[in-house]
Structure 1
Amino acid sequence: MSRAGAARRPPDSGSVAVEAAILVPAVVALALIVAGVGRIQTTGGVVDAAARAGARAASLARTPEGAQQAAEDAARGVFSEQHVPCTDLQITQPSSDPVTVNNGALQTVDVRVVCTVRLGWLLVDGMPGSKTLKGEFSSVIDRYRSAG
């Protein structure tokens, strides 16, 4: 080809379409990954909220049996309100620990919540696998609560 033939060649038409065909799937994949990480973080927040609610409810109970039932009811209530389907929900028996502060000792109650969620619910429906999320919280037992 001579110089005159090269000068008459049309500009690179269609290069934008090729670039878009390469870049668009990568951008969409990145957006889906960001959305998936956001869903996992949000669900982790729900698990933490369930642990907080369980510990607070257990700290108000009068008996260890009542504390366990209150913690379970409060945690399950949070999952129900937030529509998070745990395939394997575990709520540990609330344990009590003393904490020393300036004015003496305080009792706290600790609750741990473990929730396994299907990746199909978190990310893309039909995706195999699951993610286990854990939350733990301590609440101070009110020493001035009434006996009845």
Structure 2
Amino acid sequence: MTARPTRRGTRRTDRGSASVELVVLVPALVLVLGLLVAGGRLWFARATVVEASESAARAASLARSAGEARDAGQRAGHRVLDTEGLRCAGVSVVLDVGAFGVPAGTPATVRSTVTCRVPFADLAIPGMPGSITVRSAGGAALDTYRARS
């Protein structure tokens, strides 16, 4: 470390400046890292919930009755969330199977809505909410000419 003369002729050193830089930079880097992790978690949650809603609707559309469709769709939606490893603080898989009441020969669509509350409390980022709710809707057409019950 070199000393630099000042205007008054006294000498100052850069001693301790590295510690100050470290104290300022480390929290900023930890915050940026936490935001990256939160962004990745949110992106993964959205992609997984979209896939779950589409799978739930597709599984429900293959069933023969409204009751079977509701059960198959619920199982498919939960299976996708479990298989992908998404941790949700609360999960809801809701199916609209009213399309089974439409007569054969009339186009109809089964709809699903999957909701997942993604936790962020473990990241300890200042100002970040404890969780964010991610929701997606999916739909799948019933076979127009298949008998429905």
TM-score tier, shorter chain, comes to: 0.7 to 0.9
Tell me the equivalent position of 2:134: 133
Counterpart-to-counterpart distance in 2, 1:107 and 1:3: 85
CA apart distance, 1:79: 1.4
CA apart distance, 1:105: 6.4
Counterpart-to-counterpart distance in 2, 1:4 and 1:116: 63
- Residues 95-110 of structure 1 mapped to structure 2, 5 A cutoff: 95-96=97-98, 106-110=107-111
Q: 1:59 to 1:16 in 2, by over 3 A?
A: same
Specify which of 80, 89, 92 is matched with residue 90 of structure 1.
92
CA apart distance, 1:130: 3.1
Q: 1:11 to 1:140 in 2, by over 3 A?
A: same
Map Cα deviations across residues 99-144 of structure 1 (whole Å, 9 max, x no partner). xxxxx963221100112233346x35xx983332211111122336
Tell me the equivalent position of 1:68: 70
Q: Is the 8 A contact 1:67 1:94 kept in 2?
A: no
Counterpart-to-counterpart distance in 1, 2:70 and 2:33: 41
Q: 1:118 to 1:3 in 2, by over 3 A?
A: closer
- The Cα RMSD (Å) is 3.1
Tell me the equivalent position of 1:116: 117
Task: Please identify, of 84-93 and 74-83, the stretch whose mean Cα deviation from structure 2 is larger.
Answer: 84-93
Aligned residue-pair number: 136
Q: 1:118 to 1:28 in 2, by over 3 A?
A: closer
The letter for the 2-side match of 1:64 is: A
Map Cα deviations across residues 12-66 of structure 1 (whole Å, 9 max, x no partner). 2332331222122112111111211211221122111110110110111111111
Using the size of structure 1 for normalisation, the TM-score is: 0.74
Counterpart-to-counterpart distance in 2, 1:75 and 1:129: 24
SS in 1 for 2:108: strand
Tell me the equivalent position of 2:9: 5
User: Structure 1: any 5+ residue segments left out of the alignment?
Assistant: 98-103
Counterpart-to-counterpart distance in 1, 2:88 and 2:69: 22
Counterpart-to-counterpart distance in 2, 1:73 and 1:95: 15
* Same amino acid, percent of matched pairs: 33
Task: Please identify, of 62-71 and 33-42, the stretch whose mean Cα deviation from structure 2 is larger.
Answer: 33-42
SS in 2 for 1:61: coil
User: Structure 2: any 5+ residue segments left out of the alignment?
Assistant: 1-5, 100-104
